[in-house]
Amino acid sequence: MKRDHDESVPFSTVFGLPAEVGLRIAAATLGLSLTSAYKQAQCGDFPCPLRRVGRRYVVRLRDLMRAAGIQDVRVHYDDLEAGARFAAGEPDV
Protein backbone atom coordinates (compact mmCIF):
# COMPACT_ATOMS: atom_id res chain seq x y z
CA MET A 1 0.00 0.00 0.00
CA LYS A 2 1.44 3.37 -1.01
CA ARG A 3 1.27 6.11 1.60
CA ASP A 4 2.12 9.76 1.61
CA HIS A 5 5.58 10.19 3.18
CA ASP A 6 4.19 12.72 5.67
CA GLU A 7 1.79 10.24 7.30
CA SER A 8 2.67 9.37 10.86
CA VAL A 9 1.11 7.91 13.98
CA PRO A 10 1.83 8.38 17.69
CA PHE A 11 4.32 5.92 19.19
CA SER A 12 1.67 4.77 21.69
CA THR A 13 -0.67 3.81 18.84
CA VAL A 14 1.99 1.72 17.10
CA PHE A 15 2.29 -0.49 20.17
CA GLY A 16 -1.47 -0.65 20.79
CA LEU A 17 -1.38 1.12 24.14
CA PRO A 18 -4.80 1.97 25.62
CA ALA A 19 -6.17 5.52 25.37
CA GLU A 20 -6.85 5.54 29.12
CA VAL A 21 -5.51 3.70 32.15
CA GLY A 22 -6.76 3.24 35.69
CA LEU A 23 -5.40 4.93 38.77
CA ARG A 24 -3.37 1.86 39.80
CA ILE A 25 -1.30 1.94 36.60
CA ALA A 26 -1.02 5.73 36.70
CA ALA A 27 0.22 5.65 40.29
CA ALA A 28 2.81 2.96 39.52
CA THR A 29 4.02 4.90 36.48
CA LEU A 30 4.50 8.04 38.56
CA GLY A 31 6.12 6.19 41.47
CA LEU A 32 3.22 6.80 43.87
CA SER A 33 1.63 4.36 46.27
CA LEU A 34 -1.99 3.62 45.49
CA THR A 35 -3.01 5.18 48.81
CA SER A 36 -1.18 8.41 47.99
CA ALA A 37 -2.65 8.43 44.50
CA TYR A 38 -6.21 8.15 45.86
CA LYS A 39 -5.56 10.90 48.40
CA GLN A 40 -4.17 13.19 45.70
CA ALA A 41 -7.07 12.35 43.39
CA GLN A 42 -9.64 13.17 46.05
CA CYS A 43 -7.92 16.49 46.85
CA GLY A 44 -7.48 17.41 43.18
CA ASP A 45 -3.67 17.25 43.52
CA PHE A 46 -2.92 14.31 41.20
CA PRO A 47 -0.02 15.16 38.82
CA CYS A 48 -2.22 14.86 35.71
CA PRO A 49 -5.92 15.31 34.91
CA LEU A 50 -8.26 12.54 36.08
CA ARG A 51 -11.86 11.77 35.33
CA ARG A 52 -14.39 9.56 37.03
CA VAL A 53 -15.99 6.63 35.26
CA GLY A 54 -18.49 5.28 37.72
CA ARG A 55 -16.49 4.68 40.89
CA ARG A 56 -13.13 4.50 39.10
CA TYR A 57 -10.59 7.18 38.25
CA VAL A 58 -9.07 7.06 34.77
CA VAL A 59 -6.21 8.99 33.20
CA ARG A 60 -5.69 9.67 29.49
CA LEU A 61 -2.49 7.95 28.41
CA ARG A 62 -1.08 11.07 26.77
CA ASP A 63 -1.59 13.06 30.00
CA LEU A 64 0.11 10.31 32.02
CA MET A 65 3.02 10.13 29.60
CA ARG A 66 3.43 13.91 29.74
CA ALA A 67 3.38 13.88 33.57
CA ALA A 68 5.99 11.10 33.56
CA GLY A 69 8.18 13.00 31.10
CA ILE A 70 7.71 10.48 28.29
CA GLN A 71 7.36 11.87 24.78
CA ASP A 72 4.73 10.29 22.55
CA VAL A 73 6.72 10.96 19.38
CA ARG A 74 5.26 10.64 15.92
CA VAL A 75 6.44 7.61 13.94
CA HIS A 76 6.37 7.65 10.15
CA TYR A 77 4.91 4.68 8.30
CA ASP A 78 8.02 4.45 6.11
CA ASP A 79 10.15 3.98 9.24
CA LEU A 80 7.80 1.27 10.52
CA GLU A 81 7.95 -0.59 7.24
CA ALA A 82 11.76 -0.29 7.06
CA GLY A 83 12.05 -1.57 10.64
CA ALA A 84 9.79 -4.52 9.88
CA ARG A 85 11.89 -5.41 6.80
CA PHE A 86 15.10 -5.14 8.86
CA ALA A 87 13.65 -7.37 11.62
CA ALA A 88 12.65 -9.95 9.00
CA GLY A 89 16.19 -9.94 7.57
CA GLU A 90 15.07 -8.55 4.22
CA PRO A 91 17.40 -6.32 2.23
CA ASP A 92 16.92 -2.55 2.48
CA VAL A 93 14.99 -1.21 -0.52
Q: What's the CATH number where 23 sits?
A: 1.10.10
Could you tell me if 59 and 41 are in contact, meaning their C-beta atoms sit under 8 angstroms apart? no
Q: Is residue 42, in this structure, part of any structural domain at all?
A: yes
Could you tell me if 51 and 45 are in contact, meaning their C-beta atoms sit under 8 angstroms apart? no
Question: Could you write out the three-class secondary structure of 5-73?
Answer: CCCEEEHHHHCCCCCEEEHHHHHHHHCCCHHHHHHHHHHCCCCCCCEEECCEEEEEHHHHHHHCCCCCC
Is 0.85 topped by the overall pTM?
no
Q: Is residue 29, in this structure, part of any structural domain at all?
A: yes
Q: Is residue 56, in this structure, part of any structural domain at all?
A: yes
Q: What is the DSSP letter of 51?
A: E
Q: What is the DSSP letter of 1?
A: -
Phi first, then psi, for residue 55 (nearest 5°) are -95, 0
Over the stretch 41-67, which tens digit does the pLDDT of each residue have?
A: 999 999 999 999 999 999 999 899 899
Q: How many domains does the chain have?
A: 1
Q: Is residue 48, in this structure, part of any structural domain at all?
A: yes
Q: Is residue 5, in this structure, part of any structural domain at all?
A: no
The parent domain of residue 50 ranges over 16-71
pLDDT at 1: 47
pLDDT at 84: 81
Enumerate residue ranges in the chain where pLDDT < 70: 1-6, 11, 93
Q: Is residue 23, in this structure, part of any structural domain at all?
A: yes
Q: Is residue 39, in this structure, part of any structural domain at all?
A: yes
